[in-house]
Structure 1
Amino acid sequence: MELRDIEIFLTLAEELHFGRTAERLHITPSRVSHAIKKQERHIGAPLFERTSRTVRLTPVGQQLRDDLLPAHVQIQRAVGQAMARARGFSGALRVGYSTPWCADLVFEAAEVFRGRYAGCTVQVREVQFDDPCGLLRRGELDLQVSEVPSVEPGIAAGPVLICEPRALMIPAGHPLARRDSVSLEDLAGVPMIGPGGNVAKTLLDIHVPTRTPMGRPIPRGPSYTFWPEVPCLVAAGLGVSIVAARAARYHNRPGIAFVPFRDGPTMDYGVLWRTAGPAPAMPVAFVDILRGLTLRRRACEAGHDAGPTGSSPTTATTPAPAPCDAAASSTAPCSV
């Protein structure tokens, strides 16, 4: 078996879906099917049981996976070490995040990166919304995963990783808290809590708009320096805040409610990095890992149909990651 065929087999053994395997390996589903059939002819027994909706390993396939996996991991590590030496990868890659769900993704990618490129570490640091690109501008970060878009000079945007529906964080006793959904026009009747500091207008227009789509003014509430102040201000009845829908799973507390918006754009999170300096080889490698993890999360969330032809699901939703650990909520750098 060729190394590429082994990789296809092990990926399919993990995903149990021809379409997701093809997407993850950047090949066609027919290439996956052809490789598996060739391996089965060579071995003389089926490796997978295929139905119109499921793919399962046969006992022969399970044993082959168990025997191949440790050696394949070692090969990947050796290749990664050689790539790191050839590309000059060494030292620490400094990565920022702005929300706990971005932190979950960054910490998972950091673990993969460390295993792939021996001798490299990843320092992870929280980014505050009142100065969202300050650490990048000052050269204290190599890249960050945070709210986009950003049009600041010297800051380049990479891929969008998370597209999240929005919700209104509102005092639990407010009349809007009893609704099933709210509209952007409802913001005309509630004070909006906003960040202090230097935030780009493009971000403010999305997260802290001053007018509704029909042009009605939105009253201003108090400002904050660190985002953890926001739920406290909302619970005190001093205003509301536009948040990602999944914030309800990370920031819920007594005195506040989360009501989904039925209109308006999604809240998007992507990669940002500095354009100054040499070609960022380490950040590019890290972004490749982030994209791979994001594709896998979306595919797993989209459904589990796995027909033998490898057809991919037609819809996908944003995944719900597990709450991040304490390290992800600290403003101090954390080496992974």
Structure 2
Amino acid sequence: MTKQPQPTDPAGESSTLVAEPTAEQEAPAVLADSSAGRSPAQQAWTRLKRDRASMIALVVTVLFILAAVCSPLLSSVEGWGPIQPDLKAINPDTGNFPIGSFGGVSGHHWLGVEPGTGFDVFSRLIYGLRTSLIVAITAAVISTVIGVVVGLAAGYFGGKIDTALNWIMNVMLAFPQLLFIIAVTPVITNAFTTNAHGGTSETLQLSAIIAIIALFGWAYTARLVRGQVLSLREREFIDAARIMGAGWRHILFKQLLPNLWAPILISFALAVPINIATEAALSFLGVGVVPPNPDLGGMLNAATQYYLYDPTYLAVPGVALLVVVLAMNLLGDGVRDALDPRANRS
């Protein structure tokens, strides 16, 4: 049997014909190289940027936050404070309704004026956003910290500690939270937030609302962290840390906690819009921020008296609250999908 000769190149050496890889065959290698050397945070940011809805929600959220942070500057540019009435913009002959169309919208009042009082709607809106964001973000931070500590302790130590903490979590989750917050908030506000002059301090009042919302919001994070710790504490790297003599503090804060930042971040991102809606509901029902202090829920409550005659005043805070809560919820969902590589994406 004769051996077939191999093709030779011009130099006389034998060569083998190799098919060139197609574009489809090169694509996986290119994608692999593009993600090589990136941290998990960078990969998550890349996945988040591919989600158009999340990026739009991020832009809207940032704009609302900037408006709230810069509320004193924006208010001074317009020329009206949140509790500075413009009696010339309302007509006493028509029941103190705004003069002009669309709730008195003009170059002096960009979103009109409040019926009855003459307060500038734009100024009250941005100050109300600041109030809502301060309450929501601060309460989310406090509830997340409490939830992480309780979840770590329950999941790692187990036994009687886990049983006791798990029972407390079940009790907190079983409460009708909004109804209980509505019942408790006025009592705490009247008991602990009265200043020396017999009035109510805005700072103390906001602190009381933050404490109440955080008190009933930590159980969700604690339950999530506990479940993650129960699965992580049996991993090989935890056993290796124990064998090397690491104490429980090192294992909790150096080994377990760095592997929990993704679910913690997701829990925080989803808690903020819930807290915004809760704070607005409290003010709408009259047990939150006390008028004339600006607040979105308080503006909606005041607008219910005039919506048949001046729907603009109801639409402005209502649309703002809807957009900011929706944007933050979409952003939270996008963060969750970006941090979970196994999530299905189109």
Check whether TM > 0.5: no
More strand by share: 1
More helix by share: 2
| Larger relative contact order (Cα-Cα within 8 Å, sequence gap ≥ 6) | 1
TM-score bucket (shorter structure): under 0.3
